[in-house]
Amino acid sequence: MSAEKLKLGFIGWRGMVGSVLLDRMREEHDLEHFDTVFFSTSQHGDKAPEGSSEGELWDAFDCDALKKMDIILTCQGGDYTSRMHGELRKASWRGIWVDAASTLRMKEDACLVLDPLNKGLIKEEIHKGTLDFVGANCTVSLMLLALAGPLKAGMVDWISTHTYQAASGAGAQNMKELLKQMGHLYNHEAKLIEDPKSNILELDKLISAELQGSGNYPKELFGAPLAGSLIPWIDSPMENGQTREEWKAMVEGNKILGLTGNQKIAVDGTCVRIGAMRSHSQAITLKCKSDVDLSEFTELIAKAHDWVDLVPNTKEATLERLSPAHYSGSLNIGVGRVRPMNLGKEFVNIFTVGDQLLWGAAEPLRRFLRLYLEVTA
C-alpha cells in the first residue's frame, strides 16, 4: 500500500508569481505528489482548478480548514502572511509554511530556500524541525545563482552589485503601466517619429516635456517616468540611506549561504528600476580574496550548476543573449561580460540576467517542496 500523500494548501495561485509557480508545478508533475487544496481569499466555493484534490476552492481565511494542511504554500503576499501565519501558529498548527513574501525572511527560525546554493542547509533545517521556509528576494537569488561557483569556492571578499530591475518586480499592473508609458510617448509624437526628416532635437524637446509632466504621461503606479527614463529607488527607505531592496542583498544573501559573524560577505550597490518587462539584470564588481586567474574563474562560474548560461565577452554574443528580453521565460541565468578590471588583480567584472518570476520567485519554492518530500520520505 502506498503512503498517504501530504496535504498541500496553495494560496495566491492566481497572481503573477502564483501563476508562474503553478505552471512550473504542472510542468514538473509536482502536484501528483501531494493532495493539493486550492484556497481563495475571495472566491471560495468556486470550482477548483485542474490538479486539485477537492472540487471547490476553500476559504483562505478559514483557520480550521488551513489547519488540515501538512504544508501551506503561499504567494498571496505579505499582508496575508502577517495575518494568517501568526493566527495558525497561535492555534498550534505545526505544518510547513512555504512563502514567497518577505515578511518572515529574517525571522531567526525561518530558512531561506535556494537549493543550488544551500541544499545542505535546507536539509539540516528540515531535520531540525524548522517549519517556515521562504523564498528570497529576486535580485538576491539571481545574484547568488550567477556567482555560485566563486561563492562556493570561498573566494569572494565582497560584492558590489548595481541592479537593472524589470517592471514585473513592481507587480502586474506596473508592467501594464510601463507599456502605457511607451505607447503614450510614441502616440504623442508619432508623426515626427515616423518622418525621417524631422529634427531630433525638436522631437526630443517634445518628448522631454511629456516626461517632465507637461501632458498626461501615465505614471500613477511608478510615481515617475520609467519608459524613456529610470528610477533609482526600489522599496522603502532604511535609516542608513539604503533602500530596503538594497539592504536585502547583504542580509538575505548571507543568510542563504549560512554565513554569520565575521564570515559574512559585504554586499552593496544601487537598485534601479528600468523599462524591462520581466527579467532583472545586475552589474557586479566582485572583489576576490586573492588574484584571479580569469580562465579558471570563468570555468568556476560556468560549471557551478545546470542553469548558468555563460555568455562569451564579445559584442556578438552579448547582443544575441545577454539581455532581459532573451532570458524572460527561461530558467537559465545569463552570466557575461566576465573580464578583469582596472581596479586590481582581485577584481572581476560580471553582468548577469535572470527571469525574476522563475528563479527569482517561483522555482526555489517548488524545488523546496520536492526536496522536502525527498528528505522526509
Active site residues: 138, 280
- At its nearest, how many Å lie between ligand HSE and the CB of residue 244? 8
CB neighbourhood size of 208 (10 A):
13
* Contacting residues toward ligand HSE, per CB under 6 A: 137-138, 165, 169-170, 234, 245, 356, 360
- At its nearest, how many Å lie between ligand HSE and the CB of residue 35? 30
CB neighbourhood size of 303 (10 A):
12
- At its nearest, how many Å lie between ligand HSE and the CB of residue 262? 28
- At its nearest, how many Å lie between ligand HSE and the CB of residue 357? 8
- At its nearest, how many Å lie between ligand HSE and the CB of residue 355? 11
Residue nearest to ligand HSE (CB): 169
CB neighbourhood size of 288 (10 A):
18
- At its nearest, how many Å lie between ligand HSE and the CB of residue 72? 20
Transcribe 160-186 into DSSP letters: EEEEEE-GGGG-HHHHHHHHHHHHHHH
Nearest of 283, 266, 297 to residue 155 by alpha carbon: 297
* Cβ closest to ligand HSE, residue 116 vs residue 360: 360
Q: Are strands 96-99 and 71-74 parallel, antiparallel or unpaired?
A: parallel
**Integer Cα distance of 40 and 26 in angstroms:** 19
* Cβ closest to ligand HSE, residue 148 vs residue 170: 170
* Cβ closest to ligand HSE, residue 255 vs residue 287: 255
- At its nearest, how many Å lie between ligand HSE and the CB of residue 102? 7
Question: How many angstroms from the chain centroid is the CA of residue 38?
Answer: 23
Question: How many angstroms from the chain centroid is the CA of residue 175?
Answer: 15
What residues have CB less than 8 Å from 332, skipping those under 6 apart? Answer: 307, 308, 309, 354
Grid cell in block for residue 49? 482548478
Distances, alpha carbon 67 to alpha carbons 89, 99, 165, in Å: 9, 16, 37
* Cβ closest to ligand HSE, residue 95 vs residue 116: 116
What residues have CB less than 8 Å from 72, skipping those under 6 apart? Answer: 8, 9, 11, 66, 88, 95, 96, 97, 98
* Cβ closest to ligand HSE, residue 52 vs residue 254: 254
Nearest of 50, 46, 91 to residue 72 by alpha carbon: 91
* Cβ closest to ligand HSE, residue 170 vs residue 267: 170
* Cβ closest to ligand HSE, residue 13 vs residue 38: 13
Grid cell in block for residue 37? 487544496
CA torsion 173-175-176-181 (nearest 10°) is 120
